[in-house]
């Protein structure tokens, strides 16, 4: 049940119950390590933290700037995290909905073992679109951010501005249907805290209608306009919990598939291929957009991927541990309406 | 940004598209061969790349073909169920379905990239489909949008 209360009170409640759960888990030796969010060193940020001792749990925080997908840290860390005798450590992960989905999908892809993981579910209330706020503030430096009465108040040296909370959420958070980690029979052992009992997600994707009604030329212009500032720093790839390849296609140099310049066709090639690789795997956490130093919003592509996969294969990533990822399997009767036929 | 040079070919009425065709070794390539030995005429616009299976075709091949300036891309494999490697074309079909929708989403003209099935016995069907593809791409005109401009 969701009570209508201020965002601030909501955050405090989430934080309180999260710390309590984390405390209990550590006390009962159910987990050895907890990965969570802690206060960031600059405003509009949060930092991931690894907690090993009970007394440190009060360093954990929850606010609307916890945009990092913590599942990212598990894939490279998992083989290394063991005690002095070589037994693997039990890890608790503070999970908003998309972190939970990412963990489940990584388990589907056999990148992590859920036996060693506890999903500490929290009812996420959305992340602030900090890039949009930064863009609107402009050059001045933001020194403080606070949420009062569903308004985001931003303070700097010689300015103070306020933004409505609901409007300045991440585009993906606005349409998010999985606020807490999904939980069903096969996951009951893994999930603690607040989880969502769901087996499928209903989504109408009406937010894409406006873009999709555009003509081909308008779409191309829009895509160029959105992506032209991309510097190909690959921050989106680094933040993505699903990008765990040892050698990414853009780093391959034998053969060099794609050039390294910021010429528009190469930028689009990068984003197109990245989208291709994330089809049926993307969990729509929006971490890619949140970390982009140029403030490029990739949510349209993310949503389109979700829509394609839902429409074609009736699949939503990271909900069910038993369903295979769509791109690793096939059916004889997959639709092939796009195939060329004789007249 | 880039300086747009007037492409002679785009204003030339005699412009002929260049189409790169990825054909699977076992069905489509043999189908093309059959069309040849049966002396069935089809437009000379395609350049064939033989691949072991349609499942071998990485979406990168298709995207790179477009950035390298090919006017059209054609991918052809065995009919579903006939794959020499049992399921290569079925896995590929899912991949192509997603690539096709993504290309359209990014604003690449539908029809720039085409997918088809042709078996080794379908020389005539192969020729007919090549005619169709060539017609589609002729109508679309040269690939100036996605072509790399700094090369």
pLDDT in tens, A247-273: 899 998 888 888 888 999 999 999 999
Same domain assignment for residues A267 and A320: yes
Quote the DSSP letter at residue A90: P
The answer as to whether A135 is a domain residue is yes
In b/e form, how buried is each residue of A230-262, taking b as 16+ CB within 10 angstroms?
bebebbbbebbbbbbeeeebbeeeeeebbbeee
Same domain assignment for residues A281 and A305: yes
Contact between chains at B108 and A259 (C-beta distance less than 8 A): no
> Hey, is the C-beta of A247 within 8 angstroms of any chain B C-beta?
no
Residue A81: the pLDDT is 72
User: β-pairing, A91-95 with A191-193?
Assistant: unpaired
Quote the DSSP letter at residue A17: H
In this structure, what token pair is assigned to residue B62? 């298709």
Interface of B with A in 56-85 (CB under 8 A): 59-60, 63-64, 67, 80-81
**pLDDT tens digits for B16-64?**
999 999 999 999 999 999 999 999 999 999 999 999 999 999 999 999 9
Same domain assignment for residues A66 and A182: yes
The answer as to whether A100 is a domain residue is yes
Residue B74 in contact with residue B47, Cβ under 8 Å?
A: no
**pLDDT tens digits for A204-229?**
899 999 999 999 999 999 999 999 99
Give B77: exposed, middle or buried? Use CB within 10 Å, 0-12, 13-18, 19+: buried
Residue A277 has pLDDT above 80, yes or no: yes
Confidence of residue A290 (pLDDT cuts 50, 70, 90): very high
**Which residues does chain B have within 8 Å of residue A332's beta carbon, measured at their own beta carbons?**
80-81, 90
Contact between chains at A334 and B115 (C-beta distance less than 8 A): no
> Hey, is the C-beta of B135 within 8 angstroms of any chain A C-beta?
no
**pLDDT tens digits for A293-304?**
999 999 999 999
Please report where in the chains the tokens 């990412």 appear, as a residue.
A102
In this structure, what token pair is assigned to residue B2? 């880039």
Confidence of residue A92 (pLDDT cuts 50, 70, 90): very high
Give me chain B's average pLDDT, please.
Answer: 91
Confidence of residue A1 (pLDDT cuts 50, 70, 90): very low
> Hey, is the C-beta of B99 within 8 angstroms of any chain A C-beta?
yes
Residue A44: the pLDDT is 86
Residue A78: the pLDDT is 67
Please provide the size of chain B in residues.
151
Confidence of residue A2 (pLDDT cuts 50, 70, 90): very low
The answer as to whether A333 is a domain residue is no
How many other β-carbons are positioned within 10 Å of the β-carbon of residue A47? 13
Closest CA to A143 of A289, A45, A38: A45
Residue B73: the pLDDT is 97
Contact between chains at B100 and A336 (C-beta distance less than 8 A): no
Averaged pLDDT, A36-59: 91
Q: Residue A302 is part of which domain span?
A: 206-328
Distance CA A329, CA A280 (A): 11
The answer as to whether A134 is a domain residue is yes
Give me chain A's average pLDDT, please.
Answer: 90
Same domain assignment for residues A250 and A147: no
Averaged pLDDT, A52-58: 91
Contact between chains at B148 and A219 (C-beta distance less than 8 A): no
Distance from the Cα of B14 to chain A's closest Cα (Å) equals 25
**pLDDT tens digits for B105-120?**
999 999 999 999 999 9
Give A339: exposed, middle or buried? Use CB within 10 Å, 0-12, 13-18, 19+: middle
Same domain assignment for residues A99 and A193: yes
Distance CA A27, CA A46 (A): 26
In this structure, what token pair is assigned to residue B121? 């016995």
To the nearest 10°, the Cα dihedral for B23, B28, B29, B34?
Answer: -150
Residue A154 has pLDDT above 70, yes or no: yes
| DSSP secondary structure string for all residues of A172-188 | HHHT-S--S-EE-GGGT
Same domain assignment for residues A77 and A134: no
Residue A222 in contact with residue A55, Cβ under 8 Å?
A: no
Closest CA to A163 of A188, A198, A136, A194: A136
Closest CA to B59 of A74, A60, A270: A270
**pLDDT tens digits for A233-246?**
999 999 999 999 98
Between A47 and B3, residue with greater pLDDT:
A47
Closest CA to A69 of A39, A43, A98: A98
Distance from the Cα of A82 to chain B's closest Cα (Å) equals 38
Same domain assignment for residues A163 and A79: no
Confidence of residue B11 (pLDDT cuts 50, 70, 90): low
Same domain assignment for residues A150 and A292: no
Distance of CA A138 to the CA centre of its chain: 26
How many other β-carbons are positioned within 10 Å of the β-carbon of residue A198? 17
The answer as to whether A105 is a domain residue is yes
Confidence of residue B68 (pLDDT cuts 50, 70, 90): very high
In b/e form, how buried is each residue of A182-191, taking b as 16+ CB within 10 angstroms?
bbbeebeebb
Same domain assignment for residues A214 and A323: yes
Residue A21: the pLDDT is 93
H-type helices in B1-122, by residue range? 8-11, 28-37, 59-67, 88-105
Same domain assignment for residues A116 and A192: yes
Contact between chains at B106 and A220 (C-beta distance less than 8 A): yes
Residue B100 has pLDDT above 70, yes or no: yes
Confidence of residue A79 (pLDDT cuts 50, 70, 90): low
In this structure, what token pair is assigned to residue A9? 């009170």
Confidence of residue B7 (pLDDT cuts 50, 70, 90): low
Q: Which CATH class is domain B16-140?
A: alpha beta
Could you give the ipTM of this predicted complex? 0.91
> Hey, is the C-beta of A332 within 8 angstroms of any chain B C-beta?
yes
Residue B25: the pLDDT is 96
Least confident of A43-52, A74-83, A87-96: A74-83
The answer as to whether A26 is a domain residue is yes
Q: Is A291 helix (H, G, I), strand (E, B) or coil?
A: helix
The answer as to whether A334 is a domain residue is no
The answer as to whether A37 is a domain residue is yes
Overall domain count for chain A: 3
List the single residue in A304, A305, A342 with the smallest CB-CB distance to B129. Answer: A342
Same domain assignment for residues A282 and A155: no
Averaged pLDDT, A175-195: 88
User: β-pairing, A46-51 with A33-39?
Assistant: antiparallel
Same domain assignment for residues A140 and A180: no
Residue B63 in contact with residue B112, Cβ under 8 Å?
A: no
């Amino acid at each position: 049940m969701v009570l209508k209360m201020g965002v601030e009170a909501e955050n405090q409640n989430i934080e309180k119950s999260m710390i309590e759960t984390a405390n209990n888990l550590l006390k009962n030796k159910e987990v050895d390590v907890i990965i969570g969010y802690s206060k960031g060193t600059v405003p509009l940020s949060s930092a991931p933290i690894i907690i090993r001792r009970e007394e440190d749990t009060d360093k954990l925080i929850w606010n609307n700037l916890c945009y990092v997908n913590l599942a990212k840290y598990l894939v490279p860390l998992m083989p290394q995290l063991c005690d002095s005798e070589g037994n693997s450590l039990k890890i608790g992960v503070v999970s908003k909905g998309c972190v939970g989905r990412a963990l489940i999908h990584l388990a589907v892809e056999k990148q992590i073992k859920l036996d060693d993981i506890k999903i500490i579910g929290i009812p996420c209330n959305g992340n602030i679109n900090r890039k949009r706020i930064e863009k609107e503030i402009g050059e001045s430096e933001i020194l403080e951010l606070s949420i009062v009465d569903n308004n985001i108040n931003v303070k700097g040296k010689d300015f103070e501005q306020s933004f409505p909370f609901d409007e300045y959420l991440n585009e993906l958070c606005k349409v998010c249907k999985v606020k807490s980690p999904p939980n069903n029979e096969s996951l009951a052992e893994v999930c603690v805290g607040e989880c969502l009992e769901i087996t499928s997600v209903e989504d109408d994707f009406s937010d894409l209608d406006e873009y999709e009604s555009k003509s081909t030329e308008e779409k191309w212009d829009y895509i160029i306009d959105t992506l032209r500032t991309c510097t190909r720093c690959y921050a989106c790839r680094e933040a993505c919990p699903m990008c765990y390849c040892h050698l990414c296609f853009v780093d391959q140099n034998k053969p060099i598939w794609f050039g390294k310049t910021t010429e528009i066709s190469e930028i689009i090639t990068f984003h197109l291929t990245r989208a291709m690789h994330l089809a049926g795997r993307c969990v729509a956490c929006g971490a890619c957009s949140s970390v982009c130093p140029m403030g490029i919003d990739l949510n349209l592509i993310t949503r389109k991927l979700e829509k394609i996969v839902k429409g074609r294969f009736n699949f939503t990533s990271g909900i069910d541990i038993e369903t295979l990822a769509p791109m690793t399997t096939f059916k004889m009767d997959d639709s092939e309406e796009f195939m060329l036929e004789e007249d | 940004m880039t300086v747009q040079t007037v492409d002679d070919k785009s204003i030339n009425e005699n412009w002929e598209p260049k189409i790169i065709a990825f054909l699977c070794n076992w069905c489509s390539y043999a189908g093309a061969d059959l069309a040849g030995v049966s002396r069935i005429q089809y437009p000379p616009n395609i350049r064939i790349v033989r691949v072991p299976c349609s499942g071998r075709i990485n979406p990168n091949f298709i995207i790179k073909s477009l950035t390298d300036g090919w006017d059209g891309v054609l991918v052809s494999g065995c009919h579903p169920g006939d794959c020499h490697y049992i399921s290569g074309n079925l896995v590929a079909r899912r991949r192509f379905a997603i690539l096709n929708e993504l290309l359209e989403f990014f604003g690449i003209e539908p029809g720039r990239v085409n997918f088809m099935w042709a078996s080794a016995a379908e020389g005539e069907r192969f020729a007919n489909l090549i005619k169709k593809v060539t017609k589609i791409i002729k109508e679309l005109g040269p690939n100036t949008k996605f072509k790399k401009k700094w090369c």
